[in-house]
Structures are given as structure tokens and as C-alpha cells.
Amino acid sequence: MTFIHIVKLMIKLNKLTIDWQEVTEDLIKRFIRSICPLKKLIIYMQSHNCINANHPTKSLWYELESSKKTEITLVFWSGIHPDMICPSSRLIYPVVCHKLIECTYVDTNYSMLLTAHKDCLRNQIFCCLNRDCVYLENSEELWESAIQCKNLENIVIIGHYLIPSSIRAIATAFAPHLKHYLIADTCITKDSDDNLMDSYAHISDEELAVLASDVSKKLERRWKPLRKESLPKEIDYFIDDNDEYLFGTVQKRKRILNI
């Protein structure tokens, strides 16, 4: 492949997926300022074990803000580093999707991020790749902040425990414009007040049916959680980012989360 051919391919480039730890900020700015600006930019942010890692500077956030044509997906691994937050909540650079992988704790940093992106965020995805579900700590603070995101259309929760009251509350807050609301039935547990001795107990089939009926009414369409047999044996999170595939019909032996 000749250099000229590579340049021609780069000019046609409209979608880019990068690992923040493997590229320089200057390179990203060059793509943003290119003749044919990116339509979609996916940034993988690794938070765990990288206290001294480089994170986006204010300069880049302002650069992204000026590029209204580029839709941005932020993929967080393990947690949200304070430096990942844009310098001012008034910035509305077009982050359309948050994907949180192995993030078991939601702190004030993420609430601030939701507030900053409340006018443009459309997709929220929570995925824990461990075999067993885990509780998403401070989830009440998370949903209170998420309610500000009036344009949320897609919510996917796999691998994090949720109680029925939270599932109903989310449906109420975003109905009827919520297009996709995917929750695994293995992630639904009894309300804590009902089950103080065993916080991991799953609800019965009868309770699950009542929940499905309630959520269906709130969403004004038929809804039910994803059955265990529909889930893949493992989730491959290093595949191409494709929202159409991600939010398409979930079938057996197909990956659910395209992250």
C-alpha cells in the first residue's frame, strides 16, 4: 500500500475508535480539524491502575466542543477519573453515548459528567463482564442524575443487579421515548426491604410477570427482560462499535453488547 493510497483512505475516514492510552492528544486534534471531519469518535478510557495516566485536557474538550458534527462515545473501564470530566458543565460537545464496563461504583464525578452531557446523551450502557452480577453502588444518585438526560433513547444493563422499583422508576422517567430498554432477568433481585437476609435473591416468575406488565404500561409497548438463555456465554467487548447492531434484535448466540 503506497503512502498516497493511505492518505486517500485517511481523507475518507469518518469513524475512528481509539484507546486513549495509545494515542496522543495532538493526533486526535488533527483528525478533528481534518478536511473531512469525523462523524463518529469512540474513545476508550482506562481508569483502573492508571492514577498517573494522561487524561483529556481542557484544550481537547474545547476542541471537541467546536466540532459539533462529530458524535462522541466515551467508553469507561473500571471507573470515572476526575480529569475525564469536561472543565465546565456549559460545554455541550456531542457525546451521545456512555459505556461503563466493570464500573461498580458511581461517584460524584459521573453525576457531573451526566449533567454536562444531559442535552446530547442518547445511550447509556452498563456492563459487568464477571460471571456473577454485582451491585452498582450509589445507583440512586446515578438515576437521579440520569433523569436530567431528557434525550436518552437506549438503556442497556447487563451484569448489574437492579430491584423492581428501580426498573419501574427508570421506565417512568424516560417513557415513552425510550426506544430500547434491555435488562437481563438474571440481574433482577428482590427489593431490599423484602429480603434483608439475602440481597441476591431473584424475584419469582410471578413477580417478574407483574414487573413486565407494569413496565409495558409505562413504555406503552410490550416489554420483558432478556432471558438467561438469550444471553451469550461471554461478551466480546473488543469488537467494532456499531449502534445498529448493538440495539438490534437480540438473538441466541449473538453478542448483546457491541462494546
Residue at 239 is within a domain:
yes
> pLDDT tens for residues 10-58?
666 777 777 777 777 787 777 767 656 677 877 777 654 444 456 667 6
Residue at 256 is within a domain:
no
Share of the chain above pLDDT 70, in %: 56
The band of 135, judged by pLDDT with boundaries at 50, 70 and 90, is low
Res 237: pLDDT = 38
Residue type, 143: W
Task: Identify the residue with better confidence: 177 or 3.
Answer: 177
CATH number (domain holding residue 122): 3.80.10.10
Q: Dihedral sign, CA of 167, 168, 174, 177?
A: positive
Residue at 234 is within a domain:
yes
Within a 10 A sphere around the Cβ of 245, how many other Cβ atoms? Answer: 12
Share of the chain above pLDDT 90, in %: 9
Which residue range forms the structural domain that includes residue 86? 15-246
Q: Which of 11-20, 184-193, 204-213 holds the top average pLDDT? A: 204-213
Instruction: Give the chain's domain count.
Output: 1
Q: Does 176 sit behind a cis peptide bond, omega within 30 degrees of 0 on the bond before it?
A: yes
Residue at 170 is within a domain:
yes
Residue at 203 is within a domain:
yes
CA 140 → CA 116, 154, 169, distances in Å?
18, 19, 10
Residue at 254 is within a domain:
no
